[in-house]
Structures are given as C-alpha cells and as structure tokens.
Amino acid sequence: MNRTFKLSLLVAGIFGCGIVVGAMGARRLAPPPPPAVETTPPRPAPEGFGPNTLLRLTAELGLTEEQRAAIEPVITRTGDQLRALRQESVRQSGALIEAMNAAVSGELTPEQREKFEVLKEAQRARMRAIMEERQRRRAEGERTGGERGAERGERGGEGWRRPPPPERPAPANGAPPPPPGT
C-alpha cells in the first residue's frame, strides 16, 4: 500500500476513536434529565361536585347505604353553596373588570379608545366562544349520559374518578419515603 493511503487510514482511525471517546464522555458527564413532572388529572365539572364526591367517597371508603343516605344531603348542600359562591364571584369579577375598563378608557386618547373598544369586543367574543363550547360539551355529555367522557377519563363524566396516587415502597431502613418526583 502506498504511504498516503496508510496515513489516511491512520487519521480516520484516530478520528473515529475520538468520536467514540467523546460520545462516551459526553454521556457520562451530561447532567441528568430533569425529573418528570407529575400532572394532576382534570377536576370534575363543578355541577358534578355532589355526585362525583359521593361516588368517590363510596368507592374509597366503602360507605354503607345508611352512611350514603346521611352524607348525601351534606354533600348536596355544599355543592349548592359552592355553586352560589362561584356565581357571586363571577358577578363581582365582571363588575371589577367593567370598573377597570372605564378607568382605563378615561385615560386614553380618542384613537386609543377606539382600539381599546375593539380589543374589549375581541375579548368578549373569545369568552362567548369558550362559554358556548362548554355548553356544547355539557349538552353532549348529558345526551350520552356522561358515559363518553367518563370512558375517556374526561371531566364531567358521572363515572370519572381521580386515580389513586402511585404507591411508593417504604425504604428498608425505616426512613420516611422520598417525596414525589424523586
């Protein structure tokens, strides 16, 4: 073989070894990947608070029929109070936003005020679209008896339940288990 070819092979071999050693070193020195973020499952729809809570408690606590009968009015009353509180909060939020818009509008030039009105109307349109979509989904869930959403684990399904947290084995030395995500 000629000398140039041998030298080329030697350089290519050294280069290949450098790639292998560099890849192994990078893998060894690279920081560990961040821990996986645990996401919480979707919460049940507010109007399903009572039935969902009663189903969950019955399943997780093994309630008797007598216990269910005693607990159901308490859960229903709490659901009604939460719904009223939520509606009042929405009304108060709307009043605060209207007051803010009036104060902001008073500080704007006529041209800015026109643009501000366009921005406010676009926001109202987005909110109307969100509310219509919620109503459509709610009506769709009622038509299917909540089964479709419950099968997929979606919100608002009568049969939806939050899955239990993953069990962590206790360390052999009697120390408390590590916190989630470690």
How many domains, in total, are found in the chain?
2
pLDDT value at 155 more than 60: no
- For the chain, give the mean pLDDT: 78
Confirm whether 82 is domain-assigned: yes
Lowest mean pLDDT among 4-18, 70-84, 127-141, 155-169: 155-169
Higher pLDDT, 174 or 60: 60
Q: Name the pTM for this structure.
A: 0.43
Residues 50 and 98 in one domain: yes
Instruction: Tell me whether residue 2 is in a domain.
Output: no
- pLDDT-derived band at 152 (thresholds 50, 70, 90) equals very low
The mean-pLDDT minimum among 12-16, 119-123, 141-145 falls in 141-145
* Statement to judge: residues 97 and 127 lie in one domain: no
The verdict on 113 and 88 lying in the same domain is no
Q: Which whole number is the average pLDDT over 5-14?
A: 86
CA 119 to chain centre: 28
93 plus 138 within the same structural domain: no
**158 or 170: whose pLDDT is higher?**
170
Please check whether residues 94 and 127 belong to one and the same domain: no
* One domain, residues 53 and 81: yes
Residue 76 has pLDDT above 80, yes or no: yes
Residue ranges making up the domain that contains 84: 43-103
- pLDDT of 157 strictly over 50: no
